[in-house]
Every structure is written in C-alpha cells, then in structure tokens.
Structure 1
Amino acid sequence: MYRQFYRNMASPQAAEKLKVLMFLGSTREGRLGMRVARFMKGQLEAANHEVTLFDPLELDLPLLRKAVHHYPDRSTAPATLAEAEKIVKAADAFVVVTAEYNHSIPPALSNLLDHFGSSGYSYKPSGIVCYSPGQYGGMRAAMQLRALLGELGCLSVSNIFGIPEVQKAIDENGQALNDRMVSGAARLITQLDWHAWAMKNHRDTVGVPK
C-alpha cells in the first residue's frame, strides 16, 4: 500500500529521503516497545524515510541533571549527548513510540526528550505511536505526550496510531500479525510526511524565527 503511494508520486521529493528520528520510551523488563519500534522503522523505511532510533537503554543517559543546551561549549558535554543532539537537529520529523506507565508518560521517555533543547525540535512535526497489552492502547499517555511535544515545538499530527493488545498485533521481529497494523501506520505516516515536507520546504526557504 505505502510503497505504491510513493511509486505514484510525481514530485522530485520522491527521490529524496526525510530524516526521521524515532524515540522509544520504555525501559522496563519484558518491554513490548521494541517490537513496535521495529515495525514502525520498517514502515517508515518503506515510505522512503531515513530512520534513526533512540533507545534509552542504549543511549543510557542519566537522570537529567544538565541538558545539552546548558553546555555553552558542546566539547565539554558528554560525547554521547553531543552526538545525539546533532541527530535531533538534523531530523525532519519525529516519531515517538510510547508505552503507558501508571496511565502516564514513561519517565525514561520524558527524561530522554528533556535532554535536548526546543530549538532542535521546533518547526518540525511529530507522530505518536502508543501501545499497551490491554484494550486502551496507551492512549492516556498519548494525550499527555501530545501536550509535551507541543511545548517542545514539534506539534504532533492529528492521527495517533494506538495499538491495543500489542502482543497480538506485532511479533518480536516487528512483523504485523493483522492487516490493521499496516493501514494504521500508513495513515500516521501519510500525515507526518505531508507536514514534514511542508515544514522542511519553508525552513529551507525562509528559515525559522529567531
């Protein structure tokens, strides 16, 4: 479905790749989020996007004491943090894959997002993918995340891709177990792609407010 959409595009943009940074929010033992991240990465790449994944377990950033933008000289910041900031700033769009901890945003996710200043996020769109083992699909966390992303400057697109009973929807390798996964991801990506190109073109043309 989505590959066909891109084959049919006549714009020169079809040959280009948007840079999408995906944040994974969960760190707890037995997390299901990695299968969602693998699935979304595959769908985004099929839609001609260059995808980088920020996994808080791999980045292993500490509980926030000093955000990267609080280092006037980036050479004095931890190397992992300074390199991660470059990826944030280079991104054209963001996808946030979130679980729901106590009906709220996972602390590892907000901690990861808060390590970077709003200038890296601003004037770029974001998409929310939420999931849970139960019937609500992480929607309560998504509603709170929408407010946070707005404050960072990367407004989320209207569609939220919620995945209830995620263990029955996507396998450990990131393969969809029902047709709804591909069509649901496509709706989110279609919106994200449109907004990302519009914002990128305007940033390239007129820059961003100082």
Structure 2
Amino acid sequence: MYKQYIRNLTVQNEKAEMASSGKLKVLLILGSIRDGRQGLRVAKFMRRKLVERNFDVKFFDPVEMNFPMVTKPVHFFGPERTNAPKILVENEKFVKEADAYVLVSAEYNHNVPPALTNLLDAFPGSAYAYKPSGLVCYSMGPFGGMRAAMALRAITGELGCLSVSNIFGIPTVQHAFDEEGNPKNDHMESGAKKMLDQLEWMAHAMKNHRDKVGLPS
C-alpha cells in the first residue's frame, strides 16, 4: 500500500512538473522542395496534430522561405554573425528557441533530400543540442521512407537532437492524405500519436532538466 502510494505520488509530481513547464515550442521542418511534393500534405497534418497537443508551432518550409543553397553556415560568420545573410540570422533564433523538432522527410535515392540537409546544416549543432526530435518519413512505395529515416538518425544524433525511438513512416503517401492534409486511413492518426507521445514526454523532460541544471560546459 505504502509503495503504491509513493509511486502514485511520484507520477503526480512528474505530471505537475511537466504541466508547470509551460507551452513547448516545436519547430516543424519540411524537407522537400520538388514540384508536386507530397510532403506539404504530410506537414499540414502534422502541424494540426502538434497544435492539438498545445505546442507552439513554427513551420520551416524551404519553398515558402525561399531558403538559399547555403555555402557558408551562419556560425561561420563568427559569434556576432557579422555580414551573415539576414535569412540565416533571423531563423537561427527559431532553431535555438525550439524545445523539440519534427522533421518531415521524403526519401530520394534511399537517402535524405538535399534541401533538408542544406537547411539543417545552415545552423550550428549547439542550436539543436539537448532537445529531442521526431521523424516523419514518407515514400510513394511500400517502405515509408525508412532508409531516409535511418540516415536522419545519424544526422540528428550528430546535431544533438536525438530522435525518439518511434518513427512515423508513411508508405504510399500519395494515397494517405488529401490536399489539405486530411488523413484517408487510420494509420495516419495512430502512427502520429505513437511518435508524438514519445516526443512530448522527452521534450518536457529535457526542458525541465535544462531549466534546472543548465547545459554541460
């Protein structure tokens, strides 16, 4: 009885601590710029799912941002960002402020779209570090972009925003959503939920720890 009471009390304290940490900021990043891209439908769906969970969502779409091919990352301009392009300086702030990241990635030639790595590599690893990420990968075939997801595991690990274990993979994406991102089958809801449950837990836990003890020197 006493042990069960202590366990219940611990769970209640953890929930209260998570709730007190405030609204989490998440950066949703779309990684495709191709004509006719299916990823925009996926991103619309994911944005709604994040808003439903009370995340403060910032959306990076390289097409809408007119994001350039980066020949010099923002941190290469020195700590004062002297002469750095405005688009890099302004958006670095959103990368730093985010508590979590959701990457929406197609799979091109069994790998990550170059537009996604170009955007991610434009900012320093320190901007992403000690925060979680969630992977949403898709393909027009039966494997749901899993080979791109495996490449993103390594990339997010190096950036310091390790991806949660569950990957939301979307096979035959052309049949999964309408143009507004409304799902056409139950897997979309259940698949997103599994990944976001993990991401939300990790984002709260890591934010609480950052706030309590800071970052390693």
Same topology, TM > 0.5:
yes
Q: After the TM superposition, which residues 26-175 of structure 1 pair with which residues of structure 2 at under 5 Å, given as runs? A: 26-72=32-78, 73-74=80-81, 76-175=83-182
Name the amino acid aligned to 1:30.
G
How far is 1:13 from its partner?
A: 4.0
- 1:11 has 2:10 as partner: no
For 1:154, what is the secondary structure of its paired residue?
coil
Spell out, residue by residue over 1:79-99, the C-alpha distance to the aligned partner (whole angstroms, 9 max, x if none): 111110000000000000000
Which residue identity is paired with 1:118? G
Q: Calculate the aligned-residue CA RMSD, in Å.
A: 1.4
Q: Which amino acid in 2 is paired with 1:38?
A: K
Distance in 1, matches of 2:48 and 2:57, equals 9
TM-score (norm 2): 0.89
CA distance in 2 between counterparts of 1:164 and 1:11 reads: 38
Question: Which TM-score applies when normalising by structure 1?
Answer: 0.92
For residues 10 and 194 of structure 1, the distance between their equivalents in structure 2, rounded to whole angstroms, comes to 10
2:28 counterpart residue number: 22
Where structure 2 has 5 or more consecutive residues not aligned to the other structure, the ranges are 1-13
Matched letter for residue 11 of structure 1? A
CA distance in 2, matches of 1:91, 1:10: 21
Instruction: Select which of 201, 204, 209 maps to 1:197.
Output: 204
2:9 aligns with: none
Partners in 2 of 1:165 and 1:53 — Cα distance? 24
The equivalent of 1:4 in structure 2 is none
- 3-state SS of 1:52 partner: strand
Following the alignment from structure 1 to structure 2, what is the Cα–Cα distance between the partners of residues 143 and 10?
Answer: 32
User: Structure 1 vs Structure 2: percent identity of aligned residues?
Assistant: 59
Q: Which of the numbers 164, 177, 186 marks the counterpart of 2:184?
A: 177
Structure 1 residues not aligned, in runs of 5+: 1-8
CA distance in structure 1 between the aligned counterparts of 2:17 and 2:57, rounded to whole angstroms: 20
State the number of aligned residues.
202
User: 1:169 Cα shift?
Assistant: 1.2
Q: Secondary structure at the match of 1:111?
A: helix
